Amino acid sequence: MSALLGFVARHGVPGRRPPAAVLSCLPPVLSGRLARPVATSATATAAAAGPRALALIEDMRQLSASPRPALLLGVAGLVPFAAAPVLMLRAGTFNPELLHAQLAYGACILSFLGGVRWGLTLPDGSPQPPSWANLGQSVAPSLVAWAGLLASPSAGGLLLISGLAVAAYWDITLYGYPAWYKALRFCLSLGAILALWTALMCKWFLQGPSCEKPAHPTQPAEPAKPAV
């Protein structure tokens, strides 16, 4: 019995409080330890999500501290993303060429974002070493972008949206980037994702330009016969 109680005292019961009869048989120190339920994986995950959300809020307050070139060039980089859905909505028709141009630009941007992660690991004394994890995550966006160009427009758009979202999550939660970069990264990625999603909505809900021939084509008028 003593060995069993010792085992329970050392390891505890995950997520469950021992019965009062067991606690009464233990010394006060051990009974107090067992009275505290051990956190499960679900509660640990929820506890970790809270600080990340708070950290993002703190980073967003540093958006105004972004260097002017980074801020202006970043906002200008959203113009090709937003141009495609804006033009299609104004015309009221879906344009596959505009969607293809947007997807090609999105693939370039996603590959560029992976290169930023690669460059972070190169300097001596960098907070992030050139490990398999860091370099692998810097190469993955280029592969996703390539697959998005090879896939159909709908599947390619969803791949690029997923790639931008995952890459943004990796960078925002990574130690080593300044707070203003994380805030700018979040805003620009959100804008790009919304533009890609809007373009896909145009593909699914707007009618494309009609290429059908008229049912009764107009016959050319016969030349008038000369008077006799």
**Domain for residue 19, yes or no?**
no
Structure tokens, 148: 């998005």
Q: Within its chain, how far is the Cα of 171 from the centroid?
A: 10
Mean pLDDT within 53-72: 88
Position 221 scores a pLDDT of 58
Region 91-110: what's the mean pLDDT? 96
Structural domain of residue 127, as residue ranges?
Answer: 52-205
pLDDT of 189 > 80? The answer is yes
Say whether pLDDT at 194 is over 90.
Answer: yes
Instruction: Please name which of 14, 60, 50 lies closest in space to residue 34, comparing C-alpha atoms.
Output: 14
- Please indicate, yes or no, if residue 219 is contained in any of the structural domains: no
**d(C-alpha 137, C-alpha 53), whole Å:** 22
Calculate mean pLDDT across residues 128-154: 96
Q: Enter the tokens of residue 138.
A: 């810097």
pLDDT of residue 54: 72
Of 151 and 9, which is predicted with more confidence?
A: 151
Q: Which has the higher per-residue pLDDT, 11 or 111? A: 111
Residue the block writes with tokens 């300044």: 178
Report yes or no on 123 lying in a domain: yes
Instruction: In the chain, count H helices and then E strands.
Output: 10, 0
Is 7 contained in some domain?
no
Is 20 inside a domain boundary? no
C-alpha span between 152 and 172 (Å, rounded): 30
What is the per-residue pLDDT for 40? 47
- Diameter over CA atoms, the chain: 131
Indicate whether 39 pLDDT > 60. Answer: no
| Residue 114 to residue 141: CA distance in whole angstroms | 6
Residues 94/86, Cβ–Cβ less than 8 Å: no
pLDDT of residue 217: 52
Q: In this structure, is residue 73 part of a structural domain?
A: yes
Residue 57: predicted pLDDT: 82
Highest mean pLDDT among 13-22, 40-49, 62-71: 62-71
**pLDDT of res. 82:** 97
> 8: pLDDT confidence band, cut at 50, 70 and 90?
very low
pLDDT of residue 140: 97
The total number of structural domains in the chain stands at 1
188 in any annotated domain = yes
In the structure, what pLDDT confidence band is assigned to residue 33 with cuts at 50, 70 and 90?
very low
Return the pLDDT at 133.
Answer: 94
- Please state, in angstroms and rounded to a whole number, the distance separating the CA atoms of residues 118 and 162: 20
Mean pLDDT of 150-177: 96
pLDDT at 58 over 70: yes
In this structure, is residue 2 part of a structural domain? no
* pLDDT at position 129: 95
